[in-house]
């Protein structure tokens, strides 16, 4: 079985459409915090020693309906991610040799 080392990746693209920043957290050393609700402006903070992403309300202002919609989408995506991780972890723990062969195919 090959060793999978954790990492954080950040890249910037500049083109005619503008600037795009991509960050990939591929590490279990990710800190995830939801803070700020007591101040009236909640935010979600995802960070490692190398990078940080903060998601908050539109323009840093009061919570809008679109902010609530985004928060629901984040919760739904996170629930799917959890379910996929749990399922795959169980499958890979049960048959680690087969999981490695499936990746190679």
pTM of the predicted model, to two decimals? 0.77
So what's the pLDDT on residue 73? 98
Query: What confidence score (pLDDT) does residue 32 get?
Result: 95
Angle at 86 between CA 102 and CA 8, to 5 degrees: 75
More confident residue, 96 or 65: 65
Q: What is the pLDDT of residue 1?
A: 46
Confidence of residue 100 (pLDDT cuts 50, 70, 90): low
Alpha-carbon Rg for the chain in angstroms: 18
């Amino acid at each position: 079985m090959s060793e999978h080392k954790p990492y954080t990746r950040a890249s910037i693209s500049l083109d005619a459409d503008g600037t795009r920043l991509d960050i990939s957290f591929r590490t279990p050393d990710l800190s995830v915090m939801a803070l700020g609700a007591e101040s009236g402006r909640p935010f979600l903070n995802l960070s490692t020693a190398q990078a940080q992403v903060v998601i908050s309300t539109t323009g840093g202002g009061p919570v809008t309906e679109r902010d609530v919609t985004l928060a629901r989408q984040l919760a739904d995506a996170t629930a799917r991610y959890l379910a996929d991780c749990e399922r795959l972890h169980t499958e890979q723990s049960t048959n680690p040799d087969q999981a490695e062969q499936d990746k190679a195919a």
